[in-house]
Amino acid sequence: MSVNITGGNVLRLGAQPMDAASTVNSSVVASVAAQVPKTSAAAPLLVKIVQNLERDPTNEKFRSINLEGKAGAKLVSEPAAMTLLATVGFETQGSRLVAAGAPPAGAA
């Protein structure tokens, strides 16, 4: 599945197409992603976060975002970015956003 973030950045969620049983509604994700302005510093970060998780889903470094750091501050300043991350499964744990659940089975 691909979600267009305004301005041509593409946020790809998962290597496989989403099926009907998916817990993430693709139209909801697309709707939220469309609210992230192309001029927002959060837009390229969202793409990078998803690319990193796709490339190495078991790497804890990519499964957690420090909200008090530079990247986290950019995400927090854009409410739609935070909503999008929550929609795709990130949860707030203290001062961090953490990808919920275990990495996909068979992930490298």
Structure confidence by residue, pLDDT tens digits, 28-70:
667 777 788 888 899 889 888 888 887 888 888 989 999 999 9
Tell the burial category of 97 from Cβ atoms under 10 Å away from its Cβ (0-12, 13-18, 19+). Answer: buried
- The answer to whether residue 7 scores a pLDDT higher than 70 is no
pTM for the whole structure = 0.68
Tokens of 45: 């970060």
Query: Could you read off the pLDDT of 61-96 as tens digits, one per residue?
Result: 989 999 999 999 999 999 989 988 888 888 999 999
- Token pair of 93 as six digits: 């744990």
Give residue 23's pLDDT.
44
CA angle 83–86–92, rounded 5-degree value? 110
